[in-house]
Amino acid sequence: MSCLTLTSSICRGCRDNAGGIKKVYAANICDITAITHNTTATDADHSITGITNTGSWFELIPNKNSSNWTENINASVENGTIFYEQVATLVFGKNTQALRNTVAEICDSDLLLVIEDNNGVFWAIGEIGNGAMVTGGTSASGTAWGDLNGWNLTITCDSRVPACTVDPTVVASFIDEEKKCGC
């Protein structure tokens, strides 16, 4: 097996970005029939340039300034292995029966998530293997008037490679106006 070698530097970034998640698009992983990556000789960044889905995409909009996704690098020098754990933490407020029902469906599903961060960049998690799955969460009434009355979900997947960005034109092609939240 050939190993990758370091080919570029990492410079200090400008302070022109923001944390957090704007919205998430979710599809059942069993409905994804193909994912195309940009792997040309001139641009081997592996970004996603196409997703073929025989089912629907669903828009999930978490509470403002409440949600995030992280990627943990897990490596074993002794075993010569490395994998990436991708974790989305999503917070949805206003506990209702409809929200409860959708959360139950999410908990029973293996998903591909396309996450739009607050910089307008789209990231795919759940692309490799069995998709992303709910690994924890809570539903709470809150105590004080300003507390969360809703759900906090943790959705996780393991991958051989870091999360890839998704071309915005790909996202625009699968947004179903009937399944959008309208906000």
Burial pattern 117-156, b for ≥16 Cβ within 10 A else e, equals: beeeebbbbbbbeebbbbeebeeeeeeeeeebebbbbebb
Q: DSSP string covering 23-78, please?
A: EEEEEEGGGEEEEEE--BTTB----EEEEEESS--EEE-PPTT--EEEEEEEEETT
Please, what is the average pLDDT of the chain?
Answer: 90
Higher-confidence position of 174 and 83: 83
Mean pLDDT, residues 144-160 taken together: 95
Alpha-carbon span 143 to 10, nearest angstrom = 45
Taking 60 as the threshold, does the pLDDT of residue 57 lie above it? yes
The answer to whether 50 touches 169, Cβ cutoff 8 Å, is no
Structure confidence by residue, pLDDT tens digits, 123-137: 999 988 789 999 999
Higher-confidence position of 8 and 162: 162
Taking 90 as the threshold, does the pLDDT of residue 6 lie above it? no
Alpha-carbon span 59 to 74, nearest angstrom = 30
The answer to whether 150 touches 140, Cβ cutoff 8 Å, is yes
- HSE-CB for 164 with a 13 A CA cutoff: 23
pLDDT score at 95: 93
pLDDT score at 124: 96
Alpha-carbon span 119 to 17, nearest angstrom = 6
| Residues whose CB falls within 8 Å of the CB of residue 101, separated by 6 or more in sequence, listed in order | none
What is the reported pTM?
Answer: 0.89
Mean pLDDT, residues 40-63 taken together: 84
Mean pLDDT, residues 62-73 taken together: 96
Query: What's 1's DSSP letter?
Result: -
Residue 178, classed as helix, strand or coil, is: helix
